[in-house]
Structures are given as structure tokens and as C-alpha cells.
């Protein structure tokens, strides 16, 4: 007589309970570029990587692929929501039950347009990140079934941070890309909006309902752009001026998305929030997540780590010695903010008024049915 196979009943009950708990909660799904990449580019054939010290100097002294001295904007949002850090999609360990904690698809140098940032090598563009999300959904559907997945996605929050590379690593690089010859700033902004809208609708149709879409910050004020200017200390107005069509259009796009059944979509006014920090650096008092207190920023026009004018001509190199007073710097390197600024932006996204999180913030978003 053969041995009768008996499944592990304890494991089955545990797994069933796990699924029931998870679908009653929510996860964080992240799409974007280096501002929110947590290590996807570590697994790609790309020049755009930050998997070396001093990146991560304030993240347990450990470089992870985050383009900051510490936590990213979405890391802090997740902490404030009581959610774990979503794992990088490209990490082979991001599978199984780990997917229930959310996934980060962001990739340094990625843009809304497939060609943006291509001179850095491989990256997950917006289009590819949506395809990667569909791969995750196939795995989740196999784990929890269609109805549970629908409920899980509807309660989860997606954060999207795109657009910077379409300007810095496309439109503003006429020696490599032809976009500035083919489109004026208004036309280019509308091109980005149309492509973005198409994929946002795809994410909605795939089941995501709560989305926080960050606008582009004042790129003319980052050390990389300031470094090429003759006037020291000034932002590059000509760069900032080309962003208006995209940012204003993104706000209007949010209004259109919210007309769809069950959609709860918000626009993050990154330009206004960073502009406020740059214009009033000394007035910002911040309690960082670790309960450390700081009062104001002292350095707004150069990177904490980098080489050349404004520490922005060459970004932070391996084992370079960064500044020691990092909480007093707005910019960590040639392109990216410090953890201190990320903490302010996260608080604006979670709790901010309509000026910074329109038409509602993430806290309000999670409370809406």
C-alpha cells in the first residue's frame, strides 16, 4: 500500500491567514528614476549606479543603490505609512511573499520617453516599468487569486516620479538628442504628458487606484546646471522656465484621472516645495525620522559630494570624502537632494495642503473609499 501524501496543514492555515491579512492592508508600489531608485540599476548594465561609498553613508553606512546619503523620498513615505521598504524589482530575491510588501521599479536615468538617458546604458523606462509591474501582477495573481488581488491593488498606493531625465538627459542635451530641435518647450511638455497619460491609464486598468504623481523640481537650481553658468549662486532660469507646461499639465491630468471610477490620484508640487526650501533655507526646522532635530539649511547651491564648480561638474565618486554637515545641505550630489530634503518632501506628500499635494495628500488618499 502506497504512502498517502498529507499536505502540511499548519503551513496551509498560516498561508491562508497571511493572504487574508495582506489583502486587508496595502502595499507601496514605486515607479520612477534615480530620485527613488533603491538598487534596480545595480542589476543592469548601466553607468548610472550608486552602489559604492559614500552613497548610503547615513543609511547604516551601506551603499544600496540609492542616490542619496540616506533614505529616499519614498523610503520615508513608506515609514510614515507603517510600510516596509519595497524591494527592487531587478533583485532576484524579490519574489514570493516579498511581493506582498510592494515593489520598487524605479531606475536611474529612466524617463517617460524610452530614449531619455540612453547614453548611460540600460535602464527601465516608464514603458518597461509598466511591463515589469505586469510581471509582478502575474505572480501575485497566482498567489492570491483575482478577487483578492483586485482588493489589494485598490487599497495600495503607487508613487510615480518621472520627467527629470526627459529634460536633463534628453531635451537639455542637444549634442546627443534632437528633441530640442524638433519641439519647442510647450510641444515637448505636451509630448511627455501624452505619453505619461497613456501609461497612467494602463496602471489604472491594471488595478491601481491610489496614485501620487510627483512633478519635476526646479532643475535649473541643481548643482549640475548651476555649474555651467557664469553667474555664481544663481539658478538657471532658462532651464526652470521650460518645465512649466509639464508641471501644470500634470496637475490637470490628475483632475482628469480622478473622474474615473474609484480613482484617487494626487499631484505632488515638487517644484514649489523645493523652491520654498531654496528661497527660505534658514526657516526650515525638521524632525527627521530618527528623531534628530535640525534647524535650517546653510548650503543651497552646491553638492555635499562631487567635483568641480558647485561640486556639480562630476558627481560623487567612489570613496570621495563628502561634507560632514550633511543635514545643512539641500543637495547631496550634482543631481539629488539630501535625506534631510527628502524628509521634508515626504512630509509634504503625506500631510501637505493642496498647495503641495493636490487635491489631497497621501494621508487623505488612504482614508478615502
SS3 assignment for 262-325: CCEEEEECHHHHHHHHHHCHHHCEEECCCCCEEECCCEEEEECCEECHHHCCEECCCCCCCCCC
230-241 burial: b if 16+ Cβ within 10 Å, else e: eeeeebbeebbe
Name the nearest CA neighbour of 33 among 105, 130, 114, 118.
105
Establish whether 46 is a catalytic residue.
no
Identify the helix (H) or strand (E) that includes residue 110: none
Q: Which of 46, 164, 336, 356 is catalytic?
A: 336
Catalytic residue among 33, 34, 58, 107: 34
46, 50, 333, 356: the catalytic one is 333
Question: How far, in Å, CA of 209 to CA of 359, rounded?
Answer: 15
User: Could you confirm whether 333 is annotated as catalytic?
Assistant: yes
The span from the CA of 140 to the CA of 99, in Å, is 7
Identify the three-state secondary structure at position 144: helix
- Give catalytic status of residue 50 as yes or no: no
Residue labelled with grid coordinates 495600495: 156
d(CA 78, CA 338): 17
Q: Which residues have CB under 8 Å from 64's CB, separation 6+?
A: 38, 39, 51, 55, 56
CA 200 to chain centre: 15
Of 225, 270, 294, give the one whose Cα is nearest residue 36.
Answer: 270
Positions marked catalytic: 34, 333, 336
Amino acid at each position: 500500500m502506497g504512502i498517502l501524501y498529507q499536505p502540511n496543514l499548519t503551513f496551509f492555515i498560516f498561508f491562508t491567514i497571511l493572504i487574508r491579512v495582506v489583502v486587508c492592508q496595502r502595499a507601496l508600489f514605486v515607479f520612477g528614476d534615480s530620485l527613488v531608485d533603491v538598487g534596480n540599476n545595480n542589476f543592469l548594465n548601466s553607468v548610472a549606479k550608486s552602489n559604492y561609498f559614500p552613497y548610503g553613508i547615513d543609511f547604516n553606512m551601506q551603499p544600496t543603490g540609492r542616490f542619496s546619503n540616506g533614505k529616499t523620498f519614498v523610503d520615508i513615505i513608506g515609514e510614515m505609512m507603517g510600510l516596509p521598504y519595497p524591494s527592487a524589482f531587478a533583485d532576484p530575491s524579490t519574489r514570493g511573499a516579498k511581493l506582498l510588501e510592494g515593489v520598487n521599479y524605479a531606475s536611474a536615468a529612466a524617463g517617460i520617453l524610452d530614449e531619455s538617458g540612453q547614453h548611460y546604458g540600460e535602464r527601465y523606462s516608464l514603458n518597461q516599468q509598466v511591463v515589469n509591474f505586469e510581471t509582478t501582477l502575474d505572480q501575485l495573481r497566482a498567489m492570491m487569486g483575482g478577487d483578492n488581488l483586485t482588493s489589494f491593488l485598490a487599497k495600495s498606493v503607487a508613487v510615480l516620479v518621472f520627467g527629470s531625465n526627459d529634460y536633463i538627459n534628453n531635451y537639455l542635451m542637444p549634442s546627443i538628442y534632437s528633441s530640442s530641435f524638433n519641439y519647442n518647450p510647450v510641444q515637448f511638455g505636451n509630448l511627455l504628458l501624452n505619453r505619461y497619460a497613456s501609461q497612467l491609464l494602463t496602471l489604472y486598468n491594471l488595478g491601481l487606484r491610489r496614485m501620487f504623481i510627483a512633478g519635476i523640481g526646479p532643475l535649473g537650481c541643481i548643482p549640475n546646471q548651476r555649474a555651467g553658468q557664469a553667474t555664481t549662486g544663481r539658478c538657471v532660469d532658462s532651464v526652470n522656465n521650460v518645465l512649466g507646461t509639464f508641471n501644470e499639465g500634470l496637475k490637470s491630468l490628475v483632475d482628469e484621472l480622478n473622474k474615473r471610477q474609484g480613482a484617487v490620484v494626487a499631484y505632488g508640487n515638487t517644484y514649489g516645495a523645493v523652491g520654498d526650501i531654496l528661497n527660505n533655507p534658514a526657516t526650515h526646522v525638521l524632525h527627521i525620522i530618527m528623531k534628530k532635530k535640525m534647524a535650517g539649511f546653510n548650503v543651497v547651491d552646491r553638492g555635499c559630494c562631487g567635483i568641480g564648480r558647485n561640486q556639480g561638474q562630476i558627481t560623487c565618486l567612489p570613496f570621495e570624502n563628502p561634507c560632514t554637515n550633511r543635514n545643512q545641505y539641500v543637495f547631496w550630489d550634482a543631481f539629488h537632494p539630501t535625506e534631510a530634503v527628502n524628509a521634508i518632501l515626504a512630509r509634504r506628500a503625506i500631510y501637505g495642503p493642496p498647495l503641495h499635494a493636490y487635491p489631497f495628500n497621501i494621508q487623505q488618499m488612504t482614508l478615502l473609499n
